[in-house]
Amino acid sequence: MTTNVLAGQVALITGGGRGLGRAFALGLAKAGMSVAVVARTPAQVDETAQIIRDSGGQAQAFTADISNPGAVAETIAMVERTLGPIDLLVNNAGASGPLGPSWEADPNDWWNCLEVNLRGTFLCCHAVLPGMIARGRGRIVNVASGAGTLAIPYMSAYVTSKSAVIRFTETLAAEVRQHGVQVFSIEPGTVRTEMAEKLIGTEVGRRWLPWFESIFAEGRDQSSEPGTQLVVFLASGAGDRLSGRFWIVPENPNEVASRAEDILRDDLYVLRVRRL
């Protein structure tokens, strides 16, 4: 059913050259969507697009820095000329930021993490939303992290950026709901991506986040499949009732969607300050 719903629609995935972004692109293409793969490294996006085409799907590769407003606007225009109006935007491109005490971090490195994770997400939303609003339909999936709901020492840039993405998602969803557009943030699970390998395999990662490696050693990590299934599920419209909410792997999205009334009544899956 999902394949029929998504057939002929267009998806744009940032950070689509490798890891989760590539998995999302392949999953959406398999579900019938034409896919625009965007990242900074030409060889990687070309490879992702070629894998999709070799499997019988439709995909085009685009090289862009999503923290650059001009590059984002130009890329969105090129995608729409090439593949057509964008039905789904997946903001997946991300940076881990510097590790260590905040007062020892290089300010430029710290801010660059927000430039990619938050500004990049905003810029892509800013570029696709006029078209979505004009058409009265569209969906956006912002890849956040459970780190955005916690205070994780020595990872302040990443935590701050992902918290902001979750809150931006809820705010944006409230703004565009009347226009037929839905926005979601997701936690795709802890997956052995290049970013994860960096945290595990470097001295700075082992020093400041020594607990992180145990997630993989104890088998508490996820494959990319549950996150991909979640993105396809949200793309299909099955989760529209819970636009603005934070969806979490490994929870079953069908079960979460079936509890929409309870979630809305109790204000669940959102960031809130609990008061006395």
> Which residues are part of the catalytic machinery?
158
Residue pair 45/59 in contact (Cβ under 8 Å)? The answer is no
Give me the amino acid identity at 103: W
Strand partners, 10: 34
Q: Which two tokens stand for residue 153?
A: 């020492």
Give the closest residue to 194 by CA, choosing from 108, 106, 94.
Answer: 94
Give the closest residue to 202 by CA, choosing from 93, 94, 96.
Answer: 96
Side-chain-facing half-sphere of 208: CA atoms under 13 Å: 18
Distance (Å, whole) CA 260 – CA 257 = 5
Give the closest residue to 199 by CA, choosing from 112, 94, 57.
Answer: 94
Residue pair 169/246 in contact (Cβ under 8 Å)? The answer is yes
195 by DSSP, 3-state: which? helix
DSSP letter for each residue of 73-125: HHHHHHHHHHT-S-SEEEE--------S-GGGS-HHHHHHHHIIIIIHHHHHH
CB atoms within 10 A of CB 261: 9
Distance (Å, whole) CA 123 – CA 101 = 29
